[in-house]
């Protein structure tokens, strides 16, 4: 696996940790959906709704689930959602993907309070530059991260797929 390219103005090491604690496919699908939507929009759009991201997650998962009959794990509900069950795939993942950016601030916080705290922290103007901020069920990609994702798209996409395949193995 090729390591993520370094950048002086953002903490790429934090990005490299987004898949560290993963129990299902949601983080992989969410991040891959973000990359996919960026590419579809020619990197000109940087605000995406949770609904847009969830639809893209389902589009990405449909082929491996329906054609190859892949099972993403016992806790994973993507296949159930594809079968028509009303389950939110984005209830936690947009927040949990940002956990490495706020590990110190979240330490000791109960799981029930993490979403609101991560959203609050992402909106602060601080030295910590998360990949995106969360506002009203939308994400807004940080301008410096947008530049990074645009410049290194193919490496980052491959890195994401490599982690997902590794998790499925």
pLDDT in tens, 25-81: 889 999 999 999 999 999 999 999 999 999 998 888 877 765 556 666 556 666 668
How far is it, in rounded angstroms, from Cα 35 to Cα 55? 13
Higher-pLDDT residue of 59 and 169 is 59
What pTM was estimated for this model as a whole?
0.91
Average pLDDT in the chain:
89
| Strand ranges, E, within 79-149 | 132-135, 138-141
Contact 85, 71 (CB under 8 A): no
How far is it, in rounded angstroms, from Cα 123 to Cα 135? 8
Strand partners, 140: 47, 133
Residue 129's pLDDT band, with cuts at 50, 70 and 90, is very high
Packing angle, helices 26-40 and 50-66, rounded to 10: 110
Show me where the domains of the chain are located.
Answer: 13-104+112-168
Residues in the chain: 169
Structure tokens at 30: 């969410």
pLDDT score at 73: 59
136: left (phi over 0), alpha (psi -120 to 50) or beta: left
């Amino acid at each position: 696996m090729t390591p993520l390219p370094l950048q002086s103005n953002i903490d790429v090491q934090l990005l490299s940790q987004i898949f560290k604690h993963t129990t299902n496919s949601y983080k992989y699908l969410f991040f891959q959906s973000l990359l996919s939507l960026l590419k579809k929009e020619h990197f000109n759009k940087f605000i995406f709704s949770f609904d847009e991201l969830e639809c893209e997650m389902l589009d990405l998962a449909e082929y491996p689930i329906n054609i190859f009959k892949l099972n993403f794990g016992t806790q994973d509900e993507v296949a159930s959602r594809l079968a028509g069950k009303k389950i939110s795939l984005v209830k936690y993942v947009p927040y949990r993907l940002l956990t490495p950016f706020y590990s110190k601030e979240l330490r000791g916080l109960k799981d029930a309070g993490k979403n609101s705290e991560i959203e609050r922290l992402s909106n602060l103007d601080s030295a910590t530059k998360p990949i995106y901020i969360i506002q009203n069920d939308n994400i807004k990609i940080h301008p410096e991260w947008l530049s990074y994702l645009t410049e290194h798209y193919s490496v980052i996409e491959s890195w994401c797929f490599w982690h997902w395949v590794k998790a499925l193995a």
